[in-house]
């Protein structure tokens, strides 16, 4: 049986709140949080294809430092939240961000369109198709023109890096700064020729509708902000009727396949004034702010100052949440179950503590929860 081992990595440097520039990241090794993840616990298809609704996936609720863990169907989240709590959601929609591509020498590739930067520059990931999914492709060259469907092209400009000194001296990179030449507007082009990004644990392509949350309002994510996938309009109505507040923000996710265990890179976010006011009002009322997804935590923490006041803001955030830095805006988190060595696990520790995360993940394994974007969900509460 194939196994995976998880090592949790935390940062020793803090990013000042509101800073939107790049920075050097220093990482310290800590005692690894090791567990074996059987391939049978990887969700291979959407829950609808397993015969259950979106809100029929499982929900593990873990509370307190110990923690106290309980198991439910997702629809029971209504009972786990209290009147006056605030759910903050990410309304970014998921693009068909993967494209079939060909190099000049005829090598087939898959291009993942990631983040739109100022100056109409894009970050792209190059991957090479294989029998068990795709693998990073590291032999791209600056100036190379890659052919895309319908005579479109992607021109590689330079390797992407927040710190040029950290680029490998040899062996190549998989993330590039690039320009796109398309025959139609991006969203139209991707709708027609693209398909959702998927990895080896999802063996077939699924329609783009499976990768959208019901509350998406603005297309822009390379990969689905999947923590909110299980919400349905009926469930949202029940939450509002219970007195749970809901406030939106936007963070367009980039590609998440950080095989080299890189820290997350810059992503575009927008926190509206009304959402910032709602977060501050909930704190003042001594209620809980529950982030729906790690993307929401990243956006909120970018605009929350050291005194815990959340401000409106917009830009590109490079912020990495670690236990050393801590979390100031959210008291709870709804999230999926994260992969080995994922930087998101440091964020979970920052919110709930190491003992909480370690015990909850052990329980998820015992109870055979499913991992990844089509899997089950975990609600961490204080």
List every span in the chain annotated with CATH 3.40.1780.10.
Answer: 9-94+205-381
What is the pLDDT confidence band of residue 8, given thresholds at 50, 70 and 90? very low
Return the pLDDT at 1: 32
List every span in the chain annotated with CATH 2.40.10.
Answer: 98-193
Return the pLDDT at 29: 44
Return the pLDDT at 13: 27
Helix/strand/coil for 159: strand
**Is 304:269 a contact under the CB 8 Å cutoff?**
no
Tell me the mean pLDDT in the region 348-369. Answer: 94
Helix/strand/coil for 263: coil
**Is 334:293 a contact under the CB 8 Å cutoff?**
yes
Tell me the mean pLDDT in the region 161-169. Answer: 60
Return the pLDDT at 171: 57
**Is 190:95 a contact under the CB 8 Å cutoff?**
yes
- In the predicted model, is pLDDT for residue 263 greater than 60? no
Beta bridge partners of 123: 177
Total Cβ atoms within 10 A of residue 119: 7
Closest CA to 175 of 274, 107, 83, 262: 262
Please tell me the distance from the alpha carbon of residue 43 to that of residue 374, in angstroms, as a whole number: 6
- In the predicted model, is pLDDT for residue 273 greater than 90? yes
DSSP for 76-92, written as a single string: GHHHHS-TT-EEEEE-E
Tell me the mean pLDDT in the region 4-15. Answer: 31
- Give the number of residues written for the chain: 382
Question: Which segment of 48-62, 196-210, 319-333, 337-351 scores lowest on mean pLDDT?
Answer: 337-351
* pTM listed for this prediction: 0.88
- In the predicted model, is pLDDT for residue 4 greater than 70? no
Per-residue pLDDT of 67-101, as tens digits, reads 999 999 999 999 999 999 999 999 999 999 999 99
What is the pLDDT confidence band of residue 264, given thresholds at 50, 70 and 90? low
φ/ψ (deg, to 5) at 215: -110, 15
- In the predicted model, is pLDDT for residue 6 greater than 60? no
Strands in the chain per DSSP E: 9-11, 27-29, 58-63, 68-73, 86-90, 92-94, 98-102, 108-117, 121-130, 133-136, 145-147, 153-159, 175-181, 218-221, 245-251, 267-271, 289-292, 313-317, 332-336, 377-381
* Angle, helices 344-352/294-302, rounded to nearest 10 degrees: 70
- In the predicted model, is pLDDT for residue 129 greater than 60? yes
The number of angstroms, rounded, from the C-alpha of 36 to the middle of its chain's C-alpha atoms is: 22
Beta bridge partners of 251: 269
- In the predicted model, is pLDDT for residue 17 greater than 90? no
Return the pLDDT at 133: 79
What is the pLDDT confidence band of residue 352, given thresholds at 50, 70 and 90? very high
Per-residue pLDDT of 132-158, as tens digits, reads 778 899 999 999 999 999 999 999 999
CATH of 98-193, one of 3.30.1490, 3.40.630, 2.40.10, 3.40.50: 2.40.10
CATH topology assigned to domain 9-94+205-381: QueA-like (3.40.1780)
Position with higher pLDDT, 302 vs 164: 302
Position with higher pLDDT, 21 vs 380: 380
What is the average pLDDT score of the chain? 88
**Is 128:91 a contact under the CB 8 Å cutoff?**
no
Per-residue pLDDT of 186-207, as tens digits, reads 999 999 999 999 988 999 999 9
User: What letter would DSSP give residue 184?
Assistant: S
- In the predicted model, is pLDDT for residue 336 greater than 80? yes
- In the predicted model, is pLDDT for residue 11 greater than 60? no
Return the pLDDT at 259: 52
Return the pLDDT at 132: 75
Structure-token pair, residue 301:
């923490």
């Amino acid at each position: 049986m194939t196994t995976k081992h998880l090592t949790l990595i935390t940062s020793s440097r803090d990013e000042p709140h509101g800073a939107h520039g790049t920075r050097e990241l220093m990482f310290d090794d800590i005692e690894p949080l090791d567990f074996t993840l059987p391939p049978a616990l990887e969700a291979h298809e959407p829950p609808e294809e397993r015969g259950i609704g979106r809100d029929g996936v499982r929900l593990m609720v873990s509370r307190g430092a110990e923690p106290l863990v309980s198991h439910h169907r997702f629809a029971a989240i209504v009972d786990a939240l209290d009147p006056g709590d605030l759910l903050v959601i990410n309304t970014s929609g998921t693009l068909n961000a993967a494209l079939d591509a060909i190099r000049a020498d005829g090598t087939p590739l898959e291009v993942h369109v990631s983040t739109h930067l100022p100056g109409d520059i894009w970050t792209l990931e190059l991957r090479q198709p294989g029998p068990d999914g795709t693998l990073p492709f590291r032999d791209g060259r600056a100036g190379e023109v890659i052919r895309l469907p319908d005579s479109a092209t992607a021109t590689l400009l330079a390797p992407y890096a927040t710190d040029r000194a950290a680029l490998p001296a040899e062996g190549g990179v998989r993330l590039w700064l690039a320009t796109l030449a398309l025959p139609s507007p991006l969203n139209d082009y991707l709708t027609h020729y693209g398909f959702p990004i998927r990895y080896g644990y999802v063996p077939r392509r699924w329609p783009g509708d499976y990768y959208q949350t019901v509350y998406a309002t603005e297309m822009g994510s390379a990969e689905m902000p999947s923590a909110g996938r299980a919400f349905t309009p009926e469930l949202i109505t029940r939450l509002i009727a219970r007195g749970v507040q809901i406030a939106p923000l936007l963070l367009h996710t980039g590609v998440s396949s950080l095989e080299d265990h890189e820290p997350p890179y810059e992503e575009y976010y927008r926190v509206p004034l009304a959402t910032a006011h709602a977060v501050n009002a909930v704190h003042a009322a001594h209620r809980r702010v529950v982030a729906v997804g790690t993307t929401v935590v990243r956006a909120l923490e970018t605009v929350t100052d050291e005194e815990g006041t959340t401000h409106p803001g917009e830009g590109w955030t490079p912020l990495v949440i670690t236990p050393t830095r801590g979390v100031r805006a959210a008291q709870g988190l709804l999230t999926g179950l994260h992969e080995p060595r994922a930087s998101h696990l440091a964020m979970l520790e920052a919110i709930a503590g190491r003992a909480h995360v370690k015990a909850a993940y052990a329980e998820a394994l015992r109870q055979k929860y499913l991992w990844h974007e089509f899997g089950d969900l975990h609600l961490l509460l204080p």
